[in-house]
A and B are shown apart, each in its own frame.
Chain A
Amino acid sequence: MTAPSTLLMLRWLIWRDLILAWRRRADVLATLFFFVIVVSLFPLGIGPETQLLRKIAPGVVWVAALLASMLSLGRMFGNDYQDGTLEQLLLTPQPVYLVALGKAFAQWLVAEVPLVIIAPVLGVQFGLSENTLGVIALSLLIGTPVLSLIGSIGAALTLGLRAANVLVALLVLPLYIPVLIFGAGAVEASVEGIGARPYLLLLGATLILSLVFAPWATSAALKISVE
């Protein structure tokens, strides 16, 4: 295994997933619209009570992000599993760890980055300050890769099972809790006018931790699922 061939594999794998996502952009847009609609329902339902809206905004945005990112997990390995490309990926002359990492990164680019970009725009409906909108985007930017990485474990474990979507939710949502607490905490701290920095640092720590361990767990789960 040499560094260039590793990079080559990752580049092709991510490029492939991006092309596939572009050819099936309806799936990607569905996730994004789900996020937009869920977040927008709250201001519509509650009415123009700025104080209350400001108070619930952090939780609403983050819970909606968790649910939206769950939607795309079924497709993460499901299609590759069905058409036999997953087996080919497991037989590449590279560690499966890297395959899992590449897949999670591609999933983040396709499903999560649009949420990060649109979230500050949605935050305006809650009457949040400019500073807080920035914190929303930043906390999502650090937090959503964790969702992809943890989600990849659940997606790999439930591969080929009936009712995989429900099972993924049951497996993965509890593991999302730390991300939810730190992410929503950061936004809340910014709303209250205290620094969001400690929360963002904790989110960063979660990201590093999941970068190390999640691809490893995912690759083990993939090998079991394919066998």
Chain B
Amino acid sequence: MLEVINLGCARGERKLFGGLNFSVPAGGFFEVIGPNGSGKTSLLRIICGLMSPIEGEVRFKGKNIRRLGEEYFNTMAYVAHQNGVKDELSPFENLCISAGIVGNQLSHREAATILERVGLRKQQNLPARLLSAGQRRRLGLSRLLAGKATLWIMDEPLSSLDVEGMALVGALIGAHVNGGGMAIVATHQELNLTVGLRQRIDLAR
């Protein structure tokens, strides 16, 4: 279970939000909405541990994530606005290398299956610089399937995806959450998925 307790964040002089409280249990889906500049990305980055809050804390299984350190990074995966895709590498290499770096050695077949799932099978050996924005997004998302992370943190996963891609993201998150995982997603668009527990926070208020 992930808990956010009295969390506050500032960018420069401006306070983005404060006194934020919520918790995401196993099997929970949590949506973060709000207008541009309301602090959605900052909130996600704080939950990842990339940024420090000005007040409050984030706890995972009752412990502050700052203290959990590497143990927390083992159970968490973050798909940022930038996809973390290397232009010089093919989708296949991108996937195998980024999975290898976090400690998941993928076999050739496993990697091919994942790329098939996100619809990049045909492009798997092209240099990633030839991929479209939507295809890069799919490649960024493929990392989630390679790892064993229980907590998915996603920043605008639907951006630049086509209708079929959006359905894919919905299906992936749905399967993950219904299998006992957690997902925290910042999004502008309505995500189409059926999950047991769905919560939402609007940072504009």
Cβ contact of B52, chosen from A91, A94, A95, A227, cutoff 8 A = A227
In the bound complex, residues from chain A placing their C-beta under 8 Å from that of B100 are: 8-9, 11-12
Q: List 17 A-B contacts (CB under 8 A).
A: A8-B100, A8-B105, A9-B103, A13-B101, A20-B89, A83-B86, A83-B87, A85-B85, A87-B80, A88-B78, A88-B80, A93-B70, A93-B73, A94-B70, A95-B70, A227-B50, A227-B52
Cβ contact of B84, chosen from A5, A84, A227, cutoff 8 A = A84
Residues in A1-15 with C-beta less than 8 Å from chain B: 1, 5, 8-9, 11-13, 15
Given contacts A24-B88, A93-B70, is CB(A87)–CB(B97) below 8 Å? no
- In the assembly, what is the distance between CA of A123 and CA of B172, in Å? 61
- In the assembly, what is the distance between CA of A4 and CA of B11, in Å? 39
CB distance from A101 to the nearest CB of B (A): 14
Given contacts A1-B70, A93-B70, A93-B73, is CB(A87)–CB(B101) below 8 Å? no
| Most B Cβ at <10 Å: residue of A9, A12, A89, A93 | A93
Contact B103 A91 (CB under 8 A): no
CB distance from B184 to the nearest CB of A (A): 14
Interface size class of B (residues with CB under 8 A): 20 to 34
Number of A-B contacts (CB under 8 A): 84
Indicate if B56 sits at the interface (CB-CB under 8 A): no
In the bound complex, residues from chain B placing their C-beta under 8 Å from that of A162 are: none
Contact B88 A91 (CB under 8 A): no
Mark A residues whose CB is within 8 Å of B: 1, 5, 8-9, 11-13, 15-16, 19-20, 23-24, 82-85, 87-95, 226-227
- In the assembly, what is the distance between CA of A109 and CA of B124, in Å? 28
Mark B residues whose CB is within 8 Å of A: 48-52, 70-71, 73-74, 76-78, 80-89, 93, 97-98, 100-103, 105, 143
Cβ contact of A20, chosen from B82, B86, B102, cutoff 8 A = B86
CB distance from B150 to the nearest CB of A (A): 13
Contact A9 B102 (CB under 8 A): yes
Closest to A5 in B: B103
- In the assembly, what is the distance between CA of A19 and CA of B74, in Å? 26
Cβ contact of A87, chosen from B74, B84, B93, B103, cutoff 8 A = B84
Q: Supply 5 further A-B pairs (C-beta < 8 A) apart from A83-B85, A88-B78.
A: A13-B101, A87-B82, A91-B76, A93-B70, A227-B50
In the bound complex, residues from chain A placing their C-beta under 8 Å from that of B88 are: 19-20, 23-24
Closest to A12 in B: B100
Cβ contact of B50, chosen from A15, A90, A93, cutoff 8 A = A90
Contact A84 B102 (CB under 8 A): no
In the bound complex, residues from chain A placing their C-beta under 8 Å from that of B98 are: 85, 88
- In the assembly, what is the distance between CA of A151 and CA of B45, in Å? 28
In the bound complex, residues from chain B placing their C-beta under 8 Å from that of A23 are: 88-89
- In the assembly, what is the distance between CA of A91 and CA of B98, in Å? 11
Contact B71 A93 (CB under 8 A): yes
Contact A15 B70 (CB under 8 A): no
CB distance from B2 to the nearest CB of A (A): 15
Given contacts A8-B103, A12-B97, A95-B70, is CB(A83)–CB(B50) below 8 Å? no
- In the assembly, what is the distance between CA of A173 and CA of B92, in Å? 40
- In the assembly, what is the distance between CA of A91 and CA of B89, in Å? 21
Contact B83 A84 (CB under 8 A): yes
Contact A91 B73 (CB under 8 A): yes
In the bound complex, residues from chain B placing their C-beta under 8 Å from that of A9 are: 100-103
CB distance from B10 to the nearest CB of A (A): 12
Q: Across the A-B interface, give the 7 residue pairs with the lowest CB-CB distance, nearest first.
A: A84-B82, A12-B100, A23-B88, A93-B74, A84-B84, A93-B73, A5-B103
Contact B82 A91 (CB under 8 A): no
In the bound complex, residues from chain A placing their C-beta under 8 Å from that of B77 are: 91
In the bound complex, residues from chain A placing their C-beta under 8 Å from that of B76 are: 91
- In the assembly, what is the distance between CA of A90 and CA of B82, in Å? 15
Closest to B81 in A: A84
